Structure 1
């Protein structure tokens, strides 16, 4: 038991707080937007996040299952899994670009057609948040690289930065459009950093 705890201590000590912070950061946008810009804007945002988040939940989990099996085996046997990482990244990037092309061209019309004209505004918000969700679709499965490489402390620092960015970006701008666009830009920047870090971990670089 002592040996097992020594090997796995990073999960309860670092991963649990990181997951808790991530959950808080995921709920804060709706709460802040509702308190600052009203229930209608919060409702449109909630619809947007639910619809754009669906592909990540469905397809991302399937890709994650394949990636973590192959990447973990490669990392254990060779000390790196760069080829598995890049192969998965290319598949996710292609899917993300295809999704973005459709949403940029027809987001508002699709929301109005599917849910009624009252929800056209959710399509507008979807365009603002598209960079965020496009990068999330890529980064979410590849984030498992943090666990494979045993870098949970890095994930914790990233989640703290995410929480701070979320509160700041949604609390300071004076209107909901600027607030959501700032939030999308800040989240996207953090995802780019996360992807760079996870790629470095896939090389087997120890730090």
Structure 2
């Protein structure tokens, strides 16, 4: 235990986890005030705007910011950051141009007609999201996770304070959307200030060097962008299918349950994801084996699975007490969904290792397969005469086994990667 608590990896995870938890506490503390200032319609429009960012955000920089961590040296890392911002600026301008040419048709296609003129914030929000990605991955590469934890809390305080003050002046959806759009730039400024002393002088970026870097890390736009878009779509599948096959009530119950169960997933994912990604990349550059850390961290995160499942067993009365008797049914959803959400925490190391071992094509194939079997599970349950609870159970079980398959596949690829590089002896690979 003493060795674990004093390890650099644990200290990095703790720095990010404490900052993320504190930021969530700040948001929770502000929420009663914010919900009394803004009406449900304003929050609904903000939710629509956030959904657009979650789907388009990964594509706006073609995921090149993630390549910063696996870059060969610090010069290449800074070049990749600059190239990512150039790509994001061009694509954000193209989004703005498309909105100027056919705003009505695009809003109808995205199902976001209610946003109206607020859609003009989208190009700005997408560009600032890319800037935030670059800053976060630069900070992770430098292992400056203490700064990241502090910045997360400060950003939460500033952005929620802006929502309150803006709402007191004009409690409209435009304020929420504007703050949401600008919020990433606050984190960019704070992180840039925190790591300012770690910059190095570098020669100008020539066209030949730029093309070489983009070509070398082309697996990010080719495989990672569609993977993340598919993952976002996969998260929306239950809501769409529950509404279409059963009722909007079932979709509402699922949405609340997913948001509650997603809190530990978000906290652990934020605190461990980039830390593990940076550590895997560092080990790979140093020529050390990656499989031992993958197995160790996966085993540690598997401990969370039975804990969440056990807590969810008492969810029905807890949901009725916290949210009202009409939400008791959501607690029964939670009993099944905890199996999927709890186990998915353990695949964080595998997903973060994939870019390091050049397995993003495998990640894409697995995400396509997961999306297909999730749809088939829910539709098959409906066709066989099952109700919404049976559909949730089927969705959760196939998601659990799909995540287990993803972890096993990455472990096998990681072992082959280490063996081929001479980091593991073939005899040691079980």
Scaled by the length of structure 1, the TM-score of the pair is: 0.92
- What's 2:326 paired with? 118
- What's 2:215 paired with? 6
- What's 1:74 paired with? 283
- What's 2:393 paired with? 181
Structure 2 residue 318 is the aligned partner of structure 1 residue 93: no
Structure showing greater Rg: 2
Which secondary structure state, in structure 2, belongs to the residue aligned with residue 11 of structure 1?
Answer: helix
The CA distance in 2 between the partners of 1:39 and 1:123, in whole Å, is 17
Select 1:129's aligned residue among 334, 337, 341: 337
Scaled by the length of structure 2, the TM-score of the pair is: 0.46
Q: CA RMSD in A?
A: 1.6
The CA distance in 2 between the partners of 1:141 and 1:47, in whole Å, is 27
The CA distance in 2 between the partners of 1:47 and 1:68, in whole Å, is 30
- What's 1:197 paired with? 409
Structure 2 residue 321 is the aligned partner of structure 1 residue 109: no
1:199 shift after superposition:
1.8
1:193 shift after superposition:
0.6
- What's 1:44 paired with? 253
* Unmatched segments (≥5 aa) in structure 1: none
1:6 shift after superposition:
2.1
1:116 shift after superposition:
1.4
1:79 shift after superposition:
4.9
- What's 1:166 paired with? 374
1:141 shift after superposition:
4.2
- Checking the alignment, whether the CA contact within 8 Å between 1:145 and 1:201 is kept in structure 2 is no
The CA distance in 2 between the partners of 1:183 and 1:114, in whole Å, is 26
Runs of 4+, deviation exceeding 6 Å: none
Task: From the superposition, tell whether residues 95 and 24 of structure 1 become closer, same or farther in structure 2 (CA, over 3 Å).
Answer: same
The CA distance in 2 between the partners of 1:11 and 1:95, in whole Å, is 30
The CA distance in 2 between the partners of 1:144 and 1:65, in whole Å, is 8
